[in-house]
Amino acid sequence: MQDKPDDTDSPKRAIRSYVLRTGRMTSGQQQAYDEGWRQWGLRYADGSLNVANCFGREGPTVLEIGFGMGHSLLAQAQAAPLSNFIGIEVHTPGVGKLIQDMEAQSVGNIRIYRHDAVEVLRDCIADSSLDTIQVFFPDPWHKRKHQKRRLIQSTFVEQLRTKLKLGGLLHLATDWEDYARQMMRVLSAADGFENISGVGEYAPRPDNRPLTKFEKRGERLGHGVWDLMFKKTLQPHCPENVAPEQMS
C-alpha cells in the first residue's frame, strides 16, 4: 500500500500538517488495516463528523494530531474508557499498527483519520466540539531554513482554538528546546488562550501523557522534554499577559 492520505482527489495545499515518508507495513499491520479500517476509520470525504453518532455516545472528546505508531494514543484511550479519542495520522504503518493493537487489546474508543490534519479540522470537526487537542513531538524541522514548515504557527493555533470548547485544553510536547521556545512564543501571543502553568512557564508531564519513545530517545541524547498546556478562554489577548522574554 502506498503511504498516501485516504483521499487523493482533494485540493492541493501549499502547506500541510505532515511530510510523507517511506515505510512498509508488516503483514500483520496490513491485515489489521484491511480488516479494521471500515470499523475504526473515518473518511475525510464524508465531511462534518457527528461525534456522538460515530462513537454511539456523548463523552469528552480528545483529538490527537500525528499519533505516529499510536502507542501513546492507545494507552490514553485504555486509561479513559469513557472518553472518545480521534487520531489523525497519514502514515499507513502507524495506522495499521494502531488498529492492530486496538483489536489485540480490545480498545474500541478510538477513531482514525488518515488525512491532512489541517483539512480535517477545517472540513470535518465542528467548532467548539473538542475537550482536548494534543500534538506530541511534531517534526521539529531543526534546520533554520526549514523552520517555516513547523506545524505550530499562529494561523494553525487559531484554527485549533476554534475547535476547542470553552475551557478546552491544547497540549503540546516537544523534545527540541528551540521548538519549545517557538511554541511558547506563539501560544503566549495567541488570542483566547491562557497558560495553565503560569505566564511563560512549561508544564510538568501530566500523568495522562504516557512516556513515549521520543521522550526516552531524548533522555538518552541528553535532551529535555517540554510540555505546554493552554486552555481556551473568553478573554482577548492582552500584552501584559505575555512574559517579557516572550515578546522579543
Name the residues annotated as catalytic. 139
* Phi, psi values for residue 224, rounded to 5°: -90, 175
**Within a 10 A sphere around the Cβ of 218, how many other Cβ atoms?**
18
Three-state SS at 203: strand
Report in angstroms the alpha-carbon separations of 219 from 128, 206, 210, 215: 36, 17, 15, 6
Spell out the residues 6+ positions from residue 88 whose beta carbon is closer than 8 angstroms to its own: 17, 63, 64, 65, 66, 67, 112, 113, 114, 115, 117, 120
Per DSSP, which regions of 93-154 are E strands? 110-113, 130-136
Cell triple for 33: 488495516
**Which burial class, exposed, middle or buried, applies to 145 when counting CB atoms under 10 A from its CB (0-12, 13-18, 19+)?**
exposed
Q: What is the dihedral of CA 45, 17, 94, 173, to 10 degrees?
A: -130
Nearest to 116 by CA among 223, 13, 244: 13
Is the dihedral angle over the CA atoms 141, 118, 15, 87 positive or is it negative? positive
